[in-house]
């Protein structure tokens, strides 16, 4: 199977690395195109079997899946220049560009299309990647999920829910980092070195995430398990509630959704 990735920026490069480290596509079947050679050289060094080129058309020709990992304002000119054929599937990483807009740039309106939203943890192969599909078969959906599972986890959603889910897991990763940053700052004030504090918080987050993956996991129950009557933790929880922590998180997530999907 041949897979093309148009664009070798942060996300295009992460996708290429994730696909190569997974089992769904051999490195020799991956073609990455980019206008600047430096990023291609880096990818080639990381994954020697991968194919790199400065020609988008060379990368896309004959590829079953064509990942479009370019900036939103480049989608129209790049997509129109590719001259995709019937039977190929388009996988767009461009934020905010609707299926309707993508369809207007394709030679065949019934072509299989996907919109995917990875997050920056893709470079650590721990992305939570959202997938929406249009005109795709069950088989094509399964193949795509198999490819993207190589860089973390995947979830299929309706296009109408992309903005909300993006706020939770794509924008949301920044809010988690903000929490970590605050914890490290508190640790410094309490006498803990920044590097040590970051390690402590990182492992604590990993542990919390593991608990949430257990059957019938419930964050409220996990909080209750730590908050013994008269203990220290309940004081901190009450302070977070008093200072509006839950409301601040909700407002931040809702504020991440002012954008509207673009029909160009």
179 in the same domain as 151: no
Whether 148 is in a domain gets the answer yes
Binned at pLDDT 50, 70 and 90, residue 11 comes out as: confident
The pLDDT value recorded for residue 195 is: 98
123 in the same domain as 40: yes
Average pLDDT, the chain: 92
108 in the same domain as 27: yes
Whether 251 is in a domain gets the answer yes
Query: Which spans in 67-129 are helix H?
Result: 75-82, 99-103
Whether 260 is in a domain gets the answer no
150 in the same domain as 21: yes
What residue numbers bound the domain in which 81 lies? 3-157
Whether 125 is in a domain gets the answer yes
- Distance between CA 171 and CA 81 in Å, rounded? 31
Under DSSP, the state recorded for 191 is T
Structure-token pair, residue 135: 């005109």
The pLDDT value recorded for residue 204 is: 97
Span 92-97, mean pLDDT? 90
Of all residues in the chain, the percent with pLDDT exceeding 90 is: 74
The C-alpha angle 195, 199, 204, rounded to 5 degrees, equals 150
Whether 32 is in a domain gets the answer yes
207 in the same domain as 84: no
CA distance to 7, 20, 165, per residue, from 144 (Å)? 18, 14, 19
120 in the same domain as 11: yes
Domain holding 224: CATH number?
Answer: 1.10.3730.10
CB neighbours of 254 closer than 8 A, spacing ≥ 6?
Answer: 167
Q: Report yes or no: 116 and 94 within 8 Å, Cβ to Cβ.
A: no
169 in the same domain as 153: no
Residue 10 in this model has a pLDDT that exceeds 70:
yes
128 in the same domain as 59: yes
Whether 264 is in a domain gets the answer no
Q: Report yes or no: 19 and 25 within 8 Å, Cβ to Cβ.
A: yes
State the total domains in the chain.
2
Whether 12 is in a domain gets the answer yes
130 in the same domain as 8: yes
- Distance between CA 27 and CA 119 in Å, rounded? 22
Q: Report yes or no: 99 and 121 within 8 Å, Cβ to Cβ.
A: no
- Distance between CA 236 and CA 85 in Å, rounded? 59
Residue 120 in this model has a pLDDT that exceeds 90:
no
Binned at pLDDT 50, 70 and 90, residue 264 comes out as: low
Give the end of a domain, one of 97, 130, 157.
157
The tens digit of pLDDT for each residue in 27-46 reads 999 999 999 899 899 888 88
Beta bridge partners of 68: 6, 92
Q: Report yes or no: 82 and 63 within 8 Å, Cβ to Cβ.
A: no
Whether 83 is in a domain gets the answer yes
143 in the same domain as 183: no
33 in the same domain as 51: yes
Query: Which spans in the chain are helix H?
Result: 10-21, 37-46, 56-60, 75-82, 99-103, 138-148, 162-166, 172-189, 194-212, 219-226, 232-242, 245-255
75 in the same domain as 10: yes
Span 12-25, mean pLDDT? 86
């Amino acid at each position: 199977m041949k897979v093309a990735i148009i664009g070798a920026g942060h996300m295009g490069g992460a996708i290429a690395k994730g696909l190569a480290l997974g089992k769904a596509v051999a490195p020799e079947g991956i073609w990455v195109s980019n206008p600047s050679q430096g990023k291609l050289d880096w990818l080639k060094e990381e994954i020697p079997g991968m194919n790199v080129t400065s020609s988008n058309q060379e990368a896309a020709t004959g590829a079953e899946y064509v990942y479009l990992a370019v900036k939103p304002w480049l989608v129209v000119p790049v997509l129109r220049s590719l001259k995709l054929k019937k039977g190929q599937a388009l996988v767009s990483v461009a934020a905010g560009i609707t299926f309707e807009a993508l369809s207007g740039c394709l030679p065949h309106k019934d072509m299989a299309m996907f919109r995917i939203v990875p997050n920056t943890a893709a470079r650590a192969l721990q992305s939570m990647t959202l997938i929406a599909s249009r005109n795709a078969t069950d088989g094509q959906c399964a193949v795509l999920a198999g490819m993207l599972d190589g860089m973390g986890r995947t979830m299929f959603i309706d296009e109408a829910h992309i903005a909300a889910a993006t706020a939770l897991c794509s924008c949301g990763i920044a809010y988690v980092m903000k929490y970590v940053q605050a914890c490290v700052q508190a640790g410094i004030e309490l006498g803990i070195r920044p590097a040590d504090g970051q390690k402590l918080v990182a492992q604590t987050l990993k542990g919390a995430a593991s608990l949430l993956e257990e059957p019938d996991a419930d964050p409220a129950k996990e909080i209750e398990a730590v908050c013994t009557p008269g203990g220290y933790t309940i004081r901190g929880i009450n302070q977070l509630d008093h200072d509006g922590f839950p409301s601040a998180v909700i407002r931040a997530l809702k504020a991440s959704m002012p954008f509207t999907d673009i029909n160009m």
